[in-house]
């Protein structure tokens, strides 16, 4: 199976800042959630990874909803959503683009750029699996 990252959409971005200190972007509480779904179209050869990223402290709040669209060369079945690729590899492929977007957004908004940490998608998937059990 060949898989390609086709596009990333940033479909809902909310930034609320209550200080003009450009260093406000340090010491942020960070949460990242994601889920995958097969995109319903005629060929069923696309899937999406939806990300919800929140960064906040008492004077700064940034929420980024984004969707990474992947294209495959085969028809996808619902079992694919449980695969390691869909839950670990695909989010890891798309996440650097989200990191860059957040960094550029904060820099262009006049603040020190946020450099997001690396996330271990293997551990995030394990944690998510434990919650489902």
Residue-wise pLDDT for 41-53, tens only, equals: 777 799 999 999 9
The pLDDT of residue 40 = 84
First to last CA, the chain: 30
Q: Select the CATH number that applies to the domain covering 3-132 from these four: 2.60.120.620, 3.40.50.970, 1.20.140.10, 3.10.420.10.
A: 3.10.420.10
- In the DSSP assignment, the letter for residue 26 is S
**Measured in whole angstroms, how far is the alpha carbon of residue 121 from the centre of its chain?**
11
Q: Using a pLDDT cut of 90, give the percent of the chain over it.
A: 63
Give the helix/strand (H/E) hosting 84: helix 84-84
Domain boundaries, the chain: 3-132
Considering only 23-27, 39-43, 70-74, 87-91, which range has the smallest mean pLDDT? Answer: 39-43
Identify the residue with better confidence: 133 or 85. Answer: 85
């Amino acid at each position: 199976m060949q898989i390609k990252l086709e596009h990333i959409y940033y479909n809902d971005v909310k930034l609320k800042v209550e200080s003009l200190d450009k260093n406000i972007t340090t010491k942020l509480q960070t949460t990242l959630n994601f889920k995958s779904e097969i995109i319903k179209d005629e060929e069923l050869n696309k899937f999406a990874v939806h990300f919800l990223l929140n960064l906040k402290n008492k004077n700064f709040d940034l929420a980024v909803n984004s969707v990474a669209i992947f294209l495959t060369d085969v028809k996808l079945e619902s079992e694919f959503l449980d695969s390691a690729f869909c839950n670990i590899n695909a989010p890891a492929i798309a996440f650097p683009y989200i990191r860059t977007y957040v960094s550029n957004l904060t820099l262009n908004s006049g603040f020190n750029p946020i450099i997001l940490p690396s996330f271990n998608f293997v551990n995030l998937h394990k944690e998510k699996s434990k919650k489902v059990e």
